[in-house]
Structure 1
């Protein structure tokens, strides 16, 4: 079966920039324009609105200068207005060759915003199209609020498209400006239009106010539309536009009769860069590009992946330049741990895996996020505890730190079955703990080693705040030795290192 080619027009740099608080610099726009056309391989990009600002003019000038060298000028588009040709003069100075002319696609907008008759509006549009042709500028026409036009004034919409079908334009752009369409309406409206005007090129421009943009895109394609307008990360005004990554994945997996040029493997890279430039965060559960979408959390899922990939679907992360991950937390099972150990090249026996899993679940219950990079330190801490038979237990402690008062600690220590409590103050919480501990050991006529070094660090390479590692060096009878504690709290990790010391001595 021969596939039908559909154009992808990315409007991140124009419509996506209408996300609240988002503004690209000229250099950022140029960088993204290069990525979108050169690496992601979208067919066209809409980069700016005419006459907005000097900064916008400079960004367009830089992009068109680069595009001209690359032979891409026909792929670079600018939003223009019915303004007696002023937008065209602006475009000409900026070096742009394709205009997307914004017109009124509903009688409601025409009557209340422009206060004109359809005939007067069409006459103004015809004048702009003729001026553009004389300047060598290609024209596409937006029918703003087209979706409401089809709902409430379809006669006007068909009158308008009748007029446009006789004009020397390249494309008619049909936006669901307010994101109000259902998938059924999208299918019905576009099927009717495309059947009536088989020689015209129609683009669909979906918004996501009801979270229906991807469904509407699917119906637009099934109805026969020739192009789609999308944005990276679904950026855009209000709830945003139809998201590029999701739409590309849906086309490739569910619409085998459709072909698009977009390079799937570059979607994640471009997504992250756009997020970095804009500060527009990507929700971790956003399909294709979110941090969590290729992460298995439940242990049963990791186990199923080991047994014939039971929890895989067609959205394999490698398609998008990503890797499947197995989260470590309170729902982790043995299979999750084993998957992460495999990646790290580590092996443990079943008993060791069980104890490491218990430790990770303990951290998860504290709502701590554990990463793969933390795992070697957890393993080391758990296995380190095997070196001695535990006879001393820090059963309980209360740490206080108040402004204007010295820190104090109350501690309960069990030594060979006997529990003793003491309280002391110190220069810090750990110092107070050690002073209380000395009282216990003095009462037992036992000697504590000297603390000669104290180091605290986050495990190297970790991307979480789940763990703090404290390494304390002690001196006893002329011999130095070190113990290590691991916990989400710095003082508690030091107390755990001290408990190990008490058992060693």
Structure 2
């Protein structure tokens, strides 16, 4: 018997996929299941075999998975009203999935029983008991999800308790109390969970919460405090409406704040979070607690100075404990500590109080006042620091560049063209390129001009391009900020350009991106 006191039940592959914009192929689900198992999740709910062909196929392929820790669960409902359990085709499909665990849901709210199922309270209890007992008889561990339990309890405590009591009598291994509508408060959860434990002391209970009031994690914690032994949720909180209990938040709370060990390698948490986002083709939520890019970001100069002296003065946990890292932002709010830490990470020695540090800080604040932002443009900041310290060699001299866009009336496709004229060590180069847009054409022309002198830039490509209009009240004359993210296949870096001309802003960001690559190559050699 495991010594764990709280077990993690992941329903990303089932409940998570009910969320808008979160879709997984059969292969995606298999990959995520393997990753969840490696992370140390105890139960993985794979889907509902009776609901769609994709889930039927998933369970066929899942039989080949060599899970080392997690138990795979098939999800379904109780038998239909007035139908013998052995004749219910949906129940048969649950057994056919051949998973060691089957999770079924049933009604706890009397209103749902009489108005939605259109059956009697007595028949509902029989449906719950019969289905659980039948699955247990066939060698399955049965988790019972009590749908709408908290709403049902608040309407009629006796009815809700009697419903889950039927599951316990049928042999369920865990009674999971569901806040299906997501409207229950933590104080209510703790009180109702205590009533469940008093009424049914010999069957463990768990919690399944939704985030409609931004309380899913808090409600899960409240249930554990009341004696709950299973927490259900999804990675990154994906799910129907506003989502489910976010496991990437509740896991570190349980382990770091409450001292309940639930996974062996908590420092893999951010990797898991990003993996699920990437596989589902969703952007990472930068402000996510624990795993977000800004979860341990410090911007104000006084804060950075304090963190540098004593990290816990502005950090509630060690960032590395969840696989994250401290991020020092540089902006108009910065002090010298921000600049010093950034320079240190770049391997550039810089002394506090030095004229170089003061000059860099002054330059940053002036540029921020013009509309620059270095928070996501560390590449441009690095160029700025290198220039101020005399560690910069200009790679080329620009003579001129020109862009054009021609629209034809005879059906000929539009043409975007850019011309770049520059010199490298006194040697002139003139190139012309066509692209899918003006900025793309400019990028191609610049690379074409530099390749004869710096063939290594063939390794560099653009992975993101963002435009933000500053001071929008100036309409089409407004200042524009362009952020470009470049990569060499191993490392990404952001660069920024600002101008009242979007092409000029793009050019500045493009040049910094290639410039930084060349500066780093030179420094490495």
TM range (shorter): 0.7 to 0.9
Are residues 430 and 453 of structure 1, via their aligned partners in 2, closer, same or farther at CA, if it must alter by over 3 Å? closer
Deviations 1:330-355 (A, max 9, x none): 22221111111111211235111222
Q: Which of 425, 428, 431 is matched with 1:452 structurally?
A: 428
2:39 is equivalent to residue 34 of structure 1: no
Cα distance between partner residues in 1 of 2:323 and 2:36:
16
Q: Deviations over 1:354-384 (max 9, x none)?
A: 2222333334331433544433321233355
Matched, 1:204 2:192: no
Deviation at 1:161, TM superposition (A): 2.8
For the pair 1:14 / 2:17, whether they are aligned, the reply is no
Q: Tell me the TM-score normalised to structure 2 length.
A: 0.73
Q: Cα distance 1:298–1:113, how it changes in 2: closer, same or farther (>3 A)? A: same
CA distance in 2, matches of 1:71, 1:263: 13
TM-score (normalised: structure 1): 0.75
Q: Which residue, 361, 370, 373 being the options, matches 1:368? A: 373
- The answer to whether the 8 Å contact 1:25/1:59 transfers is no
Residues 365-416 of structure 1 deviation map (CA, whole Å, 9 limit, x = unaligned): 31433544433321233355999xxxxxxxxxxx998978xxxxxxxxxxxx
Q: Is the 8 A contact 2:181 2:212 kept in 1?
A: yes
Q: Mean Cα displacement is larger for which, 458-467 or 132-141?
A: 458-467
Alpha-carbon deviation of 1:467?
5.0
The 3 A distance-change label for structure 1 pair 52 and 493 is closer
How far does the alpha carbon of each residue in 1:152-211 deviate from its partner, in whole angstroms, 9 at most, with x for none?
121211221332332222111111001011011001100111122110111111111111
CA contact (8 A) 1:282 1:289 kept: no
Change (3 A) 1:70 1:61: farther
The residue correspondences of 1:35-114 to structure 2 (distance < 5 A) are 35-37=35-37, 39-67=38-66, 70=68, 75-83=71-79, 84=85, 85-114=88-117
Closer/same/farther in 2, CA of residues 196 and 337 from structure 1, 3 Å limit: same
Q: In the alignment, what sits opposite 2:477?
A: none
For the 8 Å contact 1:368–1:465, the answer to whether it is kept is no
Contact 1:140-1:172 within 8 A present in 2 as well:
yes
Give the CA deviation at 1:234.
0.9
Alpha-carbon distance in structure 1 between the residues aligned to 2:197 and 2:418? 76
Q: For residues 58 and 35 of structure 1, what CA distance do their matches in structure 2 show? A: 19
SS across alignment from 1:65: coil
Q: Is the 8 A contact 2:303 2:314 kept in 1?
A: no
Determine which structure has more spread, i.e. the larger CA radius of gyration.
Answer: 1
CA–CA separation in structure 2 for the residues paired with 1:429 and 1:307: 51
Aligned to 1:441: none
Q: Distance in 2 between the 1:147 and 1:187 partners?
A: 11
Alpha-carbon distance change, 306 to 162 in structure 1, aligned in 2, over 3 angstroms: closer
Q: CA deviation at 1:221?
A: 1.1
1:127 and 2:130 are equivalent in the alignment: yes
Sort the Cα spacing of 1:377 and 1:104 in 2 relative to 1 into closer, same or farther, 3 A: same
- Aligned-residue CA RMSD (Å): 3.3
Question: Which of 129, 144, 147 is residue 144 of structure 1 equivalent to?
Answer: 147
After superposition, where does 1:266-345 map in structure 2 within 5 Å? 266-309=268-311, 311-345=313-347
SS of the residue aligned with 2:145?
Answer: strand
Which residue of the partner structure matches residue 356 of structure 2? 352
Superposition pairs of residues 383-398 of structure 1, within 5 angstroms: 383=389
Deviations 1:244-301 (A, max 9, x none): 1211221223323x33235311111110010011133332111011111122122222
C-alpha displacement at 1:71, in angstroms?
Answer: 7.4
The CA deviation string for residues 117-158 of structure 1, in whole angstroms up to 9 with x for no partner, is 111112223332343234322322111111100111212112
Note the residue ranges of structure 2 that are not aligned, 5 or more in a row: 80-84, 394-400, 407-416, 431-445, 448-456, 458-485, 499-503, 512-525
Q: Deviations over 1:404-434 (max 9, x none)?
A: 8xxxxxxxxxxxxxxxxxxxxxx98998xxx
Equivalenced residues, count: 422
Counterpart Cα distance in 2 of 1:328 and 1:193: 52
CA contact 1:28–1:277 (8 Å) conserved in 2: yes
Choose from 378, 391, 412 the match for 2:384.
378
Query: Helix, strand or coil for the counterpart of 2:144?
Result: strand
SS at structure 1 position matched to 2:192: helix
1:47-69 superposed Cα distances (whole Å, 9 cap, x missing partner): 101212222111122223324x7
Residues 248 and 262 of structure 1 are in contact (CA less than 8 Å); yes or no, is this contact kept in structure 2?
A: no
1:464 aligns with 2:494: yes
Segment drifting more, 223-232 vs 58-67: 58-67
Looking at structure 2, the residues matched to 136 and 18 of structure 1 have their Cα atoms a distance apart, in angstroms, of: 29
Distance in structure 2 (CA, Å) of the matches to 1:40 and 1:6: 15
Report the CA distance between 1:223 and its aligned residue.
Answer: 0.8
Give 2:23's aligned residue.
23
